[in-house]
């Protein structure tokens, strides 16, 4: 399996991000990550498919590129990347927050 694949050592059955329930709109998915609207804050977020808070730099770069691509394709706001994993610190994910704001509810879509 590839580096982003959910192997038994890279999956936690108790983790919401490993579960990857499609409760909001999803913008992208491949074998490394998925990008969807965050259920809590309404901003796009990228989630690594490996249950690990520290992706190697080359994987992190790919994840952030996928997030940027989704924001560019689906939203009309300038964003900043927020990698502070507040509520799920054991599984890498990052949010594309509107510049000057925290939440994305009501942001203009492309």
- Per-residue pLDDT tens digits of the chain, which is 110 residues long: 344 544 445 899 999 999 999 999 999 999 999 999 999 999 999 999 999 999 999 999 999 999 999 999 999 889 999 999 999 999 999 999 998 877 776 666 66
CATH classification of the domain holding 52: 3.30.428.10
Number of domains in the chain: 1
CA distance 98 to 101: 5
Q: What domain range is 24 assigned to?
A: 8-98
Task: Please check whether residue 103 lies inside any domain of the structure.
Answer: no
Model pLDDT, residue 105: 64
Task: Please check whether residue 27 lies inside any domain of the structure.
Answer: yes
Task: Please check whether residue 90 lies inside any domain of the structure.
Answer: yes
b/e 19-50 (16+ beta carbons within 10 angstroms → b): eeeeeeeebbeeebbbbbbbeebbbbbbbbbb
Predicted TM-score of the model (pTM) = 0.87
Task: Please check whether residue 55 lies inside any domain of the structure.
Answer: yes
Task: Please check whether residue 38 lies inside any domain of the structure.
Answer: yes
Task: Please check whether residue 110 lies inside any domain of the structure.
Answer: no
Residue 110: helix, strand or coil by DSSP? coil
Q: Are 45 and 79 in contact (CB under 8 A)?
A: no
């Amino acid at each position: 399996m590839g580096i982003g694949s959910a192997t038994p050592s890279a999956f936690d059955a108790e983790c919401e991000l490993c579960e990857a329930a499609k409760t909001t709109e999803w913008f992208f998915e491949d074998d490394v990550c998925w990008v969807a609207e965050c259920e809590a804050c309404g901003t796009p977020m990228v989630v690594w498919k490996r249950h690990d808070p520290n992706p190697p730099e080359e994987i992190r770069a790919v994840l952030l590129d996928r997030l940027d691509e989704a924001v560019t394709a689906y939203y009309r706001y300038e964003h900043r990347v927020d990698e502070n994993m507040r509520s799920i610190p054991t599984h890498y994910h990052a949010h594309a927050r509107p510049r000057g704001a925290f939440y994305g509810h009501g942001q203009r879509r492309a």
